[in-house]
Structure 1
Amino acid sequence: MSEIFSRIEHSRTADEVVQQIESLILEGVLRVADRLPGERELARQFEVSRPILREALKILEVRGLIVTRHGGGTYVADVIGQVFSKPVLDLIATNRKATADYLEYRREIEGVAAEYAARRATKDDIALLDRIMARMEQAHERVNLEEEASIDVEFHLAIGEFAHNIILLHTLRSCYRLLSDDVFQNRRLMFDLPGAREAFLEQHRAIYAAVTEGDPARARQAAMDHITYVERSTQDAERTGEWQRVSKLRLRQRIGAARRQTGSEK
């Protein structure tokens, strides 16, 4: 990990180390499962003694912000958490209206995030988005569906980070948690629709261009248009999947009936 920690300027207490790491987690610089540098390196970057550093890490661990694995280093804890309880998640996963409501919510919140990102993205933000977009293009060329789906989430999360609004960022992270936990399982079905992969790539290019060119209105519209397309594709994928299910049952029934008919004639 590159050096992201700053020298403690004042009294060099554990509290100041804690505050700096908390801020990095809150701002999305440190993400869930990111590994912190080793104790010696971290103490060097902060320019504090190792006893002070150990005290700070202990405080962060008690607060549930980091976890220490015996012999395996120190990591940022899963601080995103679940928006919903397990029983509610189970209900959402089996409720058809929940998918539509989820996408309706995403359309609005991602539109705002893209607008803010176009206004506020720094040169370093743009450099990071360039890298993500390049990886998305490469995954598309390789027809790597798993990687495309993963980078899709990474792309939208980056837009949320570039909005530089802490509440918006963590709301989006919680929103994408529903995707990573497979609460909505129709994402990959959409890739089977004719032209869907190409359309998704073009839509991400449109969001990317608007954000990097600093056009808030165009960025918001591009983000909302993308979710509208996802919404329509979700419906098409579900409909196609149902058609395929019925077609298989129909074929199985016809084959069975023909065999039974042939058997009775004998």
Structure 2
Amino acid sequence: MSELFSRIDHARTADEVVRRIEDLILEGILRSGDRLPGERELASMFDVSRPILRDALKQLEARGLLVSRHGGGTRVADIIGEVFTQPVMELISGHGKATADYLEFRREIEGVAARLAAERATPDDRVLLSGILDRMRAAHERADFDEEARLDVEFHGAIGECAHNIILLHTLRSCYRLLADGVFFNRTLIYRLAGARDALLEQHLAIGDAVLAGKPASALEAARRHIDFVESAIAKAERADNWQKVSRLRLAQRSRDHRNV
């Protein structure tokens, strides 16, 4: 934590503190919901007076980057996902074409992110990514669907972080917020398809391994193949789900017919 909020070497002003915290948020180091240290501790870390720190935090709160709650400390505001406001999300969730467009966009942007990640990932990035891949394997072995779904989002977010492009990072986070919230499709439908969970794990490992090995072309292609599979699996899962609904209604109707005979 002390490395995060290190001593400010320049002029110790509120503006310098604001800039330091802005950078941490912009680079994705501080994420939505992360709690800052207490005022006394944070002032000591930055080596600034408490009035200067207080002024900086007020500026950041006024701009909607931080939120303070009585007894809950100061946290990074939930700013990710505002690329798609709630009215827009409600609008696009009801239109089938939006899902196809969403996946088309993800196919291209995730390919770029994976390529850049393979080129730019640092040793620390590789440690983080390797840990996520290990947890994905473990969750798969336990057949923990909820954990697999959560790690799916975390994995793709980590690839975006490894790309070291702040615009790309926050755009991807907005996309994954929609994914986590189930705006476009229900991922549990995909998990019900025979072999889908195995295929998804293999695809994630292929992307991760290419990034870890520093192979940009392989990472890009693996990311695109992954989205192609997701698109195909969604179509199959939705079709199978519709068949099941029709079959259930048909069976219920036949049962009523037999009772009335």
- TM-score w.r.t. structure 1 length? 0.95
Corresponding position of 1:249: 249
The answer (yes or no) to whether the contact 1:114–1:216 under 8 Å persists in 2 is yes
- 2: CA distance, partners of 1:30 / 1:192: 35
Tell me the secondary structure at the aligned position of residue 80 of structure 1.
coil
Tell me the secondary structure at the aligned position of residue 103 of structure 2.
helix
**Cα deviation code 1:49-82 (max 9, x no counterpart):** 1111111111111111001110111100011243
Residue type of the alignment partner of 1:50? R
- 2: CA distance, partners of 1:83 / 1:10: 34
Corresponding position of 1:118: 118
- 2: CA distance, partners of 1:141 / 1:220: 27
How do 1:111-260 residues align onto structure 2 when only pairs under 5 Å count?
111-260=111-260
Corresponding position of 1:20: 20
- 1: CA distance, partners of 2:122 / 2:15: 29
- 1: CA distance, partners of 2:25 / 2:214: 27
Give the C-alpha shift of residue 2 in structure 1.
Answer: 5.6
The answer (yes or no) to whether the contact 2:191–2:197 under 8 Å persists in 1 is yes
- 1: CA distance, partners of 2:82 / 2:64: 15
Tell me the secondary structure at the aligned position of residue 30 of structure 2.
coil
Give the C-alpha shift of residue 259 in structure 1.
Answer: 1.1
Give the C-alpha shift of residue 184 in structure 1.
Answer: 1.9
Unmatched 5+ stretches in structure 1? 262-266
Deviates more, 1:95-104 or 1:80-89: 80-89
Corresponding position of 2:6: 6
Tell me the secondary structure at the aligned position of residue 75 of structure 1.
strand
- 2: CA distance, partners of 1:80 / 1:86: 12
**Cα deviation code 1:60-106 (max 9, x no counterpart):** 11111001110111100011243334343223212122111111110
- 1: CA distance, partners of 2:6 / 2:85: 38
Residue type of the alignment partner of 1:45? M
Aligned length: 261
Corresponding position of 2:68: 68
Deviates more, 1:219-228 or 1:185-194: 185-194
Residue type of the alignment partner of 2:8? I
Corresponding position of 2:30: 30
- 2: CA distance, partners of 1:86 / 1:40: 37
Tell me the secondary structure at the aligned position of residue 74 of structure 1.
strand
Tell me the secondary structure at the aligned position of residue 68 of structure 2.
strand
- 2: CA distance, partners of 1:20 / 1:65: 13
Corresponding position of 2:91: 91
- 1: CA distance, partners of 2:208 / 2:2: 26
- TM-score w.r.t. structure 2 length? 0.97
Give the C-alpha shift of residue 200 in structure 1.
Answer: 0.6
- 2: CA distance, partners of 1:30 / 1:201: 28
Give the C-alpha shift of residue 181 in structure 1.
Answer: 2.5
**Cα deviation code 1:101-120 (max 9, x no counterpart):** 11111010000000000000
- 2: CA distance, partners of 1:15 / 1:255: 73
The answer (yes or no) to whether the contact 2:118–2:213 under 8 Å persists in 1 is yes
The answer (yes or no) to whether the contact 1:82–1:177 under 8 Å persists in 2 is no
Using a 3 Å threshold, how does the CA distance of structure 1 residues 256 and 140 change in structure 2: closer, same or farther?
same
- 1: CA distance, partners of 2:42 / 2:85: 36
Residue type of the alignment partner of 2:125? D
Deviates more, 1:24-33 or 1:3-12: 3-12
Query: What percent of counterpart residues are identical?
Result: 66
Unmatched 5+ stretches in structure 2? none
**Cα deviation code 1:103-154 (max 9, x no counterpart):** 1110100000000000000001101101111111111111111111011001
Using a 3 Å threshold, how does the CA distance of structure 1 residues 87 and 56 change in structure 2: closer, same or farther?
closer
Corresponding position of 1:264: none
